[in-house]
Amino acid sequence: MAESGPAIACRGVWKSYRIYHQRSHTLKEKILSRRNLYEDFWALRGIDLEVHRGTTMGIIGTNGSGKSTLLKTMARILTPNRGSLEVHGRMSPLLELGTGFHPELTGRENVYLGSSLLGQSRKQVDARYDEIVDFAGIESFMDSPVKNYSSGMYARLAFAVAISVDPEILLVDEVLSVGDEGFQVRCHQRMAELRENGATVVVVSHSLATVRALCSQVAWIDAGTVRCVGPAGEVVGNYLDSVHEGLLPTEAANGDTDRTGGRALTGAACVLDVSVRTVHGQPATSIHTGDAITISILATAPEALHDVSCGIAIHRGDDSTLVFGQNTHEADCPVVIDGDTRIEFAIHHLPLRPGAHTLTVALHDHRVNTIYDWHDKRYALLVRSDSGRTGAGAVHIDGDWRVAPATPVQAASA
Amino acid sequence: MAPAVGTGRWLAAGRELLAARELTLNLVRRDLKVRHRGTFLGMLWSLTTPLLIVGLYYFIFTFILRTSPAVDHPRPDGQNVPFAVYFFCGLTLWNLFANSVGASTDSVVGAAYLLHKVYFPRAILPMATVGSATVTFAFELSVLVVITTLTVGLPSLHILWVPLIVVIVVVLAFGLSLLLSAVTVFLRDVSHFVGVAMQLWFWGTPIIYSLQYVGDRGAFIKLLQLNPMTGCVVAFRNVVLLNRAPDYRLLAYDAVAAVIALGAGAWVFGRWQKVFSEVV
């Protein structure tokens, strides 16, 4: 194994999931339903990423951006459809606590079973066994089945096993951050130890603070592609900067298929990028009520798509009240997506009052039967309050106040 | 992980399996422990069950069915073999095969929680089920040898063939297990089908009867001999019970059949294992 070169190298990795409308498992179903109704959903769209030996790389991105899929692909749990993955070194994936623990087995037996699933040899576990028991603090229970453990004891043991691993490459999902503060501190200490010993660590996390504290390098994954990769401060900064463009992928969005009425997405067209721009085409750095802005959507389709309509919806950030929604079909604006296509919605006087709003962007057919892509409340639209306008409510209704002495009716008739 | 081709790929797969032997042993250990955990006799059940079965067969065939000793060939020393022992001998080897194949359908599907969370060479899952069936077989074999010694006398040097016969059965069982565990991922019906098929296969193997019992119906014997378990069971009885050499020709056929089964199983498993974690 050469000392130089990356520990993990993803080269043009594409990964799709089949979303089955109805999965047939038995022979009868397979014969009766002529075909399996499924559609491909591309979670990774050509990832090129190298993790160099000895670095700690954080992977950030919104839910549904593909970062967990990327981690699982690195862990070889998922096999890419296209592209290749190279891994040099012994790897331990920590995607959950207590992987492979069996309730009927004793604590001691589970320590050995769990560790060997994480790629540890018996010798390595022997050497660390006392440390594991010590950390878990349940010496007297090591010979009872874990099904009799309290959930706290179980978590402590599972955690002790997880941090005892001594791999050359460690993959960590944010599930590890569920523990209490003591766990977190110990977890970070252990990662620092591994780093000092020259191990390569990849961490997926939502917590930008964690990522900034732990990682030297950060990759920002967006819609299945690497949006940006580099030193942690810089990339996290870029990620945060999208706030100032008025658009921040919201962290609370619950994946792509949410709010699509159970209709799975097809890959016939997808939204690549959404930005808010000024009339001059510059990214809008701050947005105020009454501004002229343009919501610019970059969409793409592998083949020319005619039965397509692009819709946007703006919801209030606090209570999700729908403020506005319209699609190109309703607006009699014909759309054809053929290759990369830019669709823009120009707002002459933004009527939104200051506050947080979310923006939904969707691509679907004219009758909204087939959803091509649906970014539900994925973008935050922050309208700033320093506009000098006053009043209350969801929207600013442009109008003029007039005051004049009322002409008495009696006076006129008198 | 460079894409290897041809024999290189098979070698790489073999090396990977070898590297994961500790995990495989841990999974076998888990299987056995979980099976006996909470029982009073624990691992002793592995000895007790075969002993009880022999006792039962002995009772049935001595007092109820009163079957006369029926053997493939007489022992060279003319010693009679009780039918219960004769039957138990074939059954022991059959159980190794049937337990391996029967448990294999669930081996990958039942490990979904592992497939989603960690990578390991997937083939160790059916390998572990075959492994735990082999450990159980070792217990039954020791009981068989003791009982044979008590009822018909000490085994001859021919018993040294046992390891080879066991290897053939294990390879055959592992090949089928690879195939069935992979197919079950996509078609859950397989586990039901296997239950019925193993019943049929049991009766298509001379376990409760001998090939001699079939008589001079040559075509029928030929058909039975197509079953790769036939040669193994007959050879196993020859070397353990009857102090005779195995039928080399039949055993060689079984060995070839086992290798073909392993090749076919490994091919199918290798092609499909990439998507196991997404489908199960």
Q: What is the pLDDT of residue A414?
A: 42
Of B117, B185, B276, which to mutate for an interface test with A (greatest number of A Cβ within 10 Å)? Answer: B117
Q: Mean per-residue pLDDT for A196-216?
A: 84
Asked if residue B212 is part of any domain, the answer here is yes
Find, in chain B, the residue whose alpha carbon is nearest to that of A172. B117
Using an 8 Å CB-CB cutoff, list chain A residues near B29.
109, 113
* Domain total of chain B: 1
CB B96 within 8 A of CB B144: no
Of B33, B114, B188, the CB nearest to A105: B33
CB A214 within 8 A of CB A194: no
Q: Cα(A314)–Cα(A355) distance, rounded to whole angstroms?
A: 12
A71: CB partners within 8 A, 6+ apart: A59, A93, A95, A171, A173, A202, A204
pLDDT tens by residue, chain B, 280 residues: 444 456 778 888 888 888 888 899 999 998 888 887 777 777 777 778 878 887 888 788 778 877 665 556 677 777 778 888 888 899 999 999 999 999 999 999 999 889 988 999 999 999 999 999 999 999 889 989 998 999 888 888 999 999 999 999 999 999 999 999 999 999 888 989 999 999 999 999 998 888 877 777 778 888 888 999 999 999 999 999 888 889 899 999 999 999 999 999 999 999 999 889 888 8
3-state SS assignment for residue A273: strand
Asked if residue B12 is part of any domain, the answer here is no
Q: Cα(A163)–Cα(A172) distance, rounded to whole angstroms?
A: 11
Using an 8 Å CB-CB cutoff, list chain B residues near A77.
115-119, 277
Asked if residue B14 is part of any domain, the answer here is no
Domain that holds residue B70: 19-274
- CB neighbours (10 Å) of residue A137? 12
pLDDT at A252 over 70: no
CB B84 within 8 A of CB B57: yes
Quick check: B114 and A30 CB within 8 A? no
3-state SS assignment for residue A352: strand
Asked if residue B72 is part of any domain, the answer here is yes
Of A15, A79, A176, which to mutate for an interface test with B (greatest number of B Cβ within 10 Å)? Answer: A79
Closest CA to B142 of B67, B92, B98, B177: B92
For CA atoms A294, A295, A301, A307, the dihedral sign is: negative
Cross-strand pairs, A217: A57, A231
Closest CA to A212 of A181, A235, A241, A190: A235
Domains of chain A: 6-242 (3.40.50.300), 270-384 (2.70.50.60)
Asked if residue B47 is part of any domain, the answer here is yes
Six-digit token string for B205:
């193997």
Asked if residue B5 is part of any domain, the answer here is no
Asked if residue B46 is part of any domain, the answer here is yes
Give the pLDDT confidence of A387-414 residue by residue, as tens digits. 566 777 778 888 888 998 887 665 554 4
H or E stretch at A123: helix A122-136
Quick check: B120 and A145 CB within 8 A? no
A392-396's contacts with Cβ under 8 Å and 24+ in sequence apart are: A392/A353, A393/A353, A394/A316, A394/A321, A394/A323, A394/A352, A394/A353, A395/A323, A395/A351, A395/A352, A395/A353, A396/A289, A396/A290, A396/A351, A396/A352, A396/A353
Q: Cα(A45)–Cα(A8) distance, rounded to whole angstroms?
A: 18
Q: What's the predicted TM-score (pTM) here? A: 0.71
H or E stretch at A158: helix A151-164
User: Given the structure tokens 């008025």, which residue do they identify?
Assistant: A246
Quick check: A75 and B118 CB within 8 A? yes
Q: Give Rg (Cα) of chain B.
A: 20
